[in-house]
């Protein structure tokens, strides 16, 4: 039996929803397993928020494709704003070999080598924050740490021009959504992006990555015949694109939730080793990635509701991670003692974020160090949420801290 698709007169890319998607998520959860939403800029968008439905779609990569694009464009017909990613915009069997290489690069043995460097960086960052006392945590906490450890230890890119990293990530994630008037203004305000794109492209070349870095390990796979010369820079670029902004905004979201939930900050102070759990609970509670997009390979149905080949399916991890049918009556509560395992913020199955272990290692070092050495943290001014097509976070997060 087929069922008519419910509709919501809500644009998921409106400024109001991007600023605070909570009401939108609840409306999608209540409306049905798959919901037609307002067709932002003419795209054929439907939204899925229920945990079980999101999980079923993610775990069916043969029907719901990644290769048709991780954003609103359909790469079967539309010209992409950049070369499609070999990991994020690829399907089996080609994806399987690429994923195997990246899994071997980001292996536990390679992460263990980086732990000491990550801890040293966390100590240095917190030293600096304790000297400042009052600062914008978006810049000096959330941005400072990944920008300190990722370019050196993970990517091994050149020192010159690292300011391009944030510009590239902003360009990437704004471009994955529709060109709304706000997105057009945001991209226009970035000015000429060619120097940024050229810097990223050049940084991914073999001669420009440092020996021993993840970037170099990717190029080693070319020597073993596991990748081609053309594929290696695409994979190094995936570390640049996905490994910076998502971690930055997840760290900022974690600090925001700890300040607005003082009992959870007190608990983290008592048990600093819970830093990594606070980070994962944040990913569940306030998912940094707004949507994961899949495209049906052919006409099919989602729980009896027809969807058509090529229709863009917006999976909403922020809604799925608050679905009471999965998380119970306390789904909306931020609780760092919760078992947040199984949340959808980092995807799932064959397309689960391969860089997740790096982000968790970063968060563990920084949040645990911060909790051990900072007695109190409070807002110094009103935080300003970030409005962005694909990521949720802050533009500013002014705080004042008191040392232990």
How high does pLDDT run on average in the chain? 92
Is the backbone of residue 191 left (phi > 0), alpha (psi -120 to 50) or beta? Answer: left
Could you give the 3-state DSSP secondary structure of residue 46? strand
Q: What is the pLDDT of residues 67-110, one digit of tens each?
A: 998 888 888 888 877 788 888 888 899 899 899 999 999 888 88
Q: How much is the pLDDT for 180?
A: 93
Q: What is the mean pLDDT of residues 154-175?
A: 82
Write the DSSP string, 323-342.
Answer: -HHHH-TTTTS--TTS--TT
Query: Which long-range contacts (C-beta less than 8 Å, at least 24 apart) are formed by 268-273?
Result: 268/336, 268/367, 268/371, 269/371, 269/375, 272/367, 272/368, 272/369, 272/371, 272/372, 273/368
Torsion 158-199-240-230 (CA) sign = negative
Task: Select from 309, 316, 347 the least CA-distant residue to 74.
Answer: 309
Rounded CA gap, 62 and 199, in Å?
Answer: 36
Kind plus residue range of the DSSP H or E element containing 217? helix 214-223
pTM for the complete prediction? 0.94
| Spatial contact of 2 and 306, defined as CB atoms under 8 Å apart | yes
| Spatial contact of 216 and 357, defined as CB atoms under 8 Å apart | no
Torsion 110-112-117-123 (CA) sign = positive
Q: Which of 44-48, 211-215, 237-241, 276-280 is modeled with the greatest confidence? A: 276-280
Q: Sketch out the chain's domains with CATH numbers.
A: 7-403 (1.10.630.10)
Q: How much is the pLDDT for 286?
A: 97
Output 151 or 362, whichever has higher pLDDT: 362
Rounded CA gap, 245 and 339, in Å?
Answer: 25
Q: What percent of the chain has pLDDT over 70?
A: 98
Q: What angle do CA 308, 310, 316 make, to 5 degrees?
A: 90
Under the banding of pLDDT at 50, 70 and 90, the label for residue 157 is confident
Residue 239 has pLDDT above 80, yes or no: no
Q: H helices within 106-163, ranges in order?
A: 108-132, 137, 144-149
């Amino acid at each position: 039996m087929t069922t008519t698709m419910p509709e919501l007169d809500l644009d998921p890319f409106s400024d109001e929803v991007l600023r605070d998607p909570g009401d939108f998520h609840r409306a999608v959860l209540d409306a049905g397993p798959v919901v037609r939403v307002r067709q932002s800029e003419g795209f054929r968008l439907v939204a899925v928020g229920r945990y079980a439905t999101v999980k079923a779609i993610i775990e069916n990569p043969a029907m719901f494709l990644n290769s048709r694009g991780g954003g609103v464009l359909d790469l079967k017909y539309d010209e992409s704003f950049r070369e499609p990613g070999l990991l994020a915009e690829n399907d089996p069997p080609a994806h399987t070999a690429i994923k195997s290489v990246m899994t071997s690069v980001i292996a536990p043995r390679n992460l263990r080598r980086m732990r000491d460097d990550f801890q040293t960086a966390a100590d240095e960052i917190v030293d600096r924050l304790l000297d400042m006392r009052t600062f914008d945590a978006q810049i000096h906490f959330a941005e400072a740490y990944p920008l300190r450890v990722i370019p050196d230890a993970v990517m091994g890119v050149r020192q010159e021009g690292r300011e391009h990293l944030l510009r590239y990530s902003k360009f990437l994630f704004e471009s994955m959504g529709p060109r709304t008037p706000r997105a057009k203004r945001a991209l226009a305000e970035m000015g000429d992006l060619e120097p940024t794109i050229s810097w990223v492209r050049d940084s991914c070349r073999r001669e420009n990555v440092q020996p021993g870095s993840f970037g170099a390990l990717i190029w080693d796979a070319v020597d073993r015949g596991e990748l081609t010369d053309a594929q290696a820079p695409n994979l190094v670029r995936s570390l640049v694109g996905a490994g910076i902004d998502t971690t930055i905004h997840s760290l900022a979201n974690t600090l925001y939730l700890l300040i607005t939930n003082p009992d959870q900050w007190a608990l983290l102070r008592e048990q600093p080793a819970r830093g990594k759990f606070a980070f994962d609970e944040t990913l569940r509670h306030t998912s940094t990635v707004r949507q994961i997009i899949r495209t049906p390979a052919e006409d099919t149905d989602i729980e009896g509701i027809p969807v058509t080949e090529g229709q863009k399916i917006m999976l909403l991890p922020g809604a799925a991670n608050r679905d009471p049918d999965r998380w119970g009556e306390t789904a909306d509560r931020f609780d760092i003692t919760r078992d947040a395992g199984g949340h959808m913020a980092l995807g799932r199955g064959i397309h689960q974020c391969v860089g997740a272990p790096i982000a968790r290692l970063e968060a563990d070092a920084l949040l645990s160090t911060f909790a051990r050495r900072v007695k109190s943290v409070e807002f110094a001014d009103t935080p300003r949420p970030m409005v962005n097509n694909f990521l949720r976070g802050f533009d500013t997060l002014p705080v004042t801290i008191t040392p232990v």
